[in-house]
Each structure stands twice: as structure tokens, then as C-alpha cells.
Amino acid sequence: MINLKDIKEQEIDLDKVSDYVEFPDKISGRCGNCNSAHFKSLVKGGVFLRECRDGGMKKSI
């Protein structure tokens, strides 16, 4: 049986910037890919961007 949670996890593309509404943190303040709490962040065009230093996942917050 295919779990919808597993399908969402497979859809994470590390080359694109994900939207926080689409992929919220599983654990607040942690990367959804590698569970790290080390991020690079910047504000660009009025949008807060966060990138995991270890896993490379990018999110628009």
C-alpha cells in the first residue's frame, strides 16, 4: 500500500526552491531532507529564502 506521506517525501527536488506551505518542516526549524538545523538564509525580492547547509534543500518562507 502506498502512503501519501511517502509520495510527498519523494517529490522533494533539491534543485528548486520549495514553498514552505507546500513542504512545511516535519520538525520545526529542521531540514525536511536531512534533519539538520544549519541554514544559510537571505531576503531576496521581499521573500525569505532558507537553504540547508548539509542537505541543500531550499525553501521560500
pLDDT confidence tier of residue 4, bands split at 50, 70 and 90: very low
* 28 vs 13, higher pLDDT: 28
What residue type is 27 in one-letter code? I
Contact 60, 47 (CB under 8 A): yes
Structural domains in the chain (count): 1
Parent domain of 45: 4-60
Q: What is the mean pLDDT of residues 36-57?
A: 92
pTM for this predicted structure: 0.71
**Mean pLDDT rounded to a whole number for the chain:** 82
Contact 25, 32 (CB under 8 A): yes
